[in-house]
């Protein structure tokens, strides 16, 4: 997309978010279910279609704008300025990552049955990989959910949890072991499974800090759940490799969205201290306040720079394992610092629903864990560095 066209998409996204979405977000303190759940989603997405900013990441032939990673970044950041913004433009997790992965891996009728409706916002989806201990979590090789070959397909048995968007999803991308033993680095396969498949049950919501992700974070059971051969996503036994198509870019789109939210918290805080008088001067003229403002500006700029570097590598066809780990780890912690400083700058008001900074701090905190805890990314980065230096 040319620069003038991209600038127009950014501007229209900004207008949609500030005029239509933020008032709803603030009215319900970022609680998507209290605000109306899927009914609100459909209303907001219709507004995004009319604004011409719906599904900026999706293939053009499916109604999207087809933006690459670099071009997505500023658009996603504007959408993320509201906690409900990503849902409005159909770039919320996990659907955004699933659209990206399905566009690369879905074949034949899979594109028509699963990718098309998802890209058009007709349905929601979930990515079912994480399991209760001792199953797959930060270590995906601990995958315990098993798929057994039968006539015409596979039978899946296991339990998953922290499955974002599971309640109300039309289908699950389910990771199950089809070979090898628990702990092996291979042997996983991805299955496209409609939510109404017999044997799939959303057991419960895991109540968490964040409330802006539609469908919650759920525990899901699979009991002799059948998946036809035609609904295997990618190659049998290559599920972990296939998931990498999703995971790196999805980490970066998380950064894009949360950067928008953190920037809003920062701007609200700066506006507050610029207008608040104390100790005979504006709060904004006090040295300690200025240091917090400056540190927020530095964290925003550094996050954006690391994000764009990773996006460029991804757009050039690289796996970007190192770059996405660095950007995700730094951003998870930097955006938390920005939100936390913003609460502090706003004083007592920063802890209330009177300003949006409290809910933004609440929603951003889990990002240091979601999509890989900071500690796991640091471990992987250190191992890679040692290997590169000593080989």
In a shared domain, residues 292 and 375: yes
Q: How far apart are the first and last CA of the chain?
A: 41
Q: Provide the pLDDT for residue 47.
A: 98
Q: Provide the pLDDT for residue 3.
A: 74
Residues 85-122 have pLDDT tens digits of 999 999 999 999 999 999 999 999 999 999 999 999 99
Q: In this model, does residue 4 exceed pLDDT 80?
A: no
CATH of the domain at 188: 2.40.110.10
Q: Provide the pLDDT for residue 76.
A: 98
Q: Provide the pLDDT for residue 2.
A: 73
What is the count of structural domains for the chain?
3
Predicted confidence band at 391 (pLDDT cuts at 50, 70, 90)?
confident
Provide the residue count of the chain. 391
Residues 322-348 have pLDDT tens digits of 999 999 999 999 999 999 999 999 999
In a shared domain, residues 250 and 371: yes
Residues 187-219 have pLDDT tens digits of 999 999 999 999 999 999 999 999 999 999 999
Give the structural domain span for 41. 3-92
* Whole-number Å distance between alpha carbons of 304 and 34: 32
Q: In this model, does residue 123 exceed pLDDT 90?
A: yes
CATH of the domain at 248: 1.20.140.10
In a shared domain, residues 232 and 263: no
Total-model pTM? 0.96
Please state, in angstroms and as integers, the Cα–Cα distance from residue 51 to each residue in 13, 20, 25, 86, 189, following that order: 8, 11, 19, 14, 39
CA nearest 162: which of 188, 133, 122, 192? 133
């Amino acid at each position: 997309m040319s620069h003038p066209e991209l600038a127009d998409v950014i501007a229209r996204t900004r207008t949609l978010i500030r005029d239509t979405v933020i008032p709803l977000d603030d009215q319900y303190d970022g609680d998507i279910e209290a605000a109306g759940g899927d009914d609100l989603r459909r209303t907001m997405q219709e507004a995004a279609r009319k604004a011409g900013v719906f599904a900026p990441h999706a293939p053009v032939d499916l109604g999207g704008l087809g933006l690459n990673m670099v071009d997505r970044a500023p658009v996603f950041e504007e959408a993320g300025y509201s906690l409900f913004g990503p849902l409005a433009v159909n770039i919320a997790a996990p659907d955004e990552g699933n659209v990206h992965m399905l566009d690369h891996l879905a074949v034949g009728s899979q594109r028509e049955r699963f990718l098309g409706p998802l890209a058009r916002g007709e349905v929601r989806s979930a990515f079912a990989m994480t399991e209760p201990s001792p199953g797959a979590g930060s270590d995906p090789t601990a995958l315990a959910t098993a798929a057994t070959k039968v006539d015409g397909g596979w039978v899946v048995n296991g339990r998953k949890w922290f499955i974002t968007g599971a309640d109300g999803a039309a289908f699950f991308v389910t990771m199950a072991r089809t070979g090898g033993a628990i702990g092996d680095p291979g042997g996983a396969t991805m299955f496209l499974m409609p939510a109404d498949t017999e044997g799939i049950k959303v057991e419960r919501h895991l109540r968490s800090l964040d409330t802006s992700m539609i469908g919650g974070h759920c525990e899901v059971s699979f009991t002799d759940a059948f998946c036809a051969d035609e609904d295997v996503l990618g190659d049998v036994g290559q599920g972990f490799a296939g998931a990498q198509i999703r995971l790196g870019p999805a980490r970066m789109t998380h950064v894009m969205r949360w950067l928008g939210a953190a920037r809003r918290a920062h701007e609200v805080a700066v506006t507050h201290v610029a207008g608040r008088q104390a100790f005979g001067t504006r709060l904004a003229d006090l040295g300690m306040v200025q240091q917090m403002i400056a540190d927020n500006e530095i964290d925003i700029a550094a996050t954006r720079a690391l994000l764009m570097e990773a996006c460029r590598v991804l757009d050039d066809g690289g796996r970007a394992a190192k770059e996405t780990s660095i950007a995700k780890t730094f951003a998870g912690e930097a955006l938390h610092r920005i939100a936390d400083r913003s609460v502090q700058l706003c004083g007592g008001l920063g802890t209330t629903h009177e300003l949006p900074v409290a809910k933004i701090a609440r929603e951003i905190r889990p990002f240091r864990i979601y999509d890989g805890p900071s500690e796991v990314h640091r471990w992987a980065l250190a191992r890679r560095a040692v290997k590169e230096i000593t080989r």
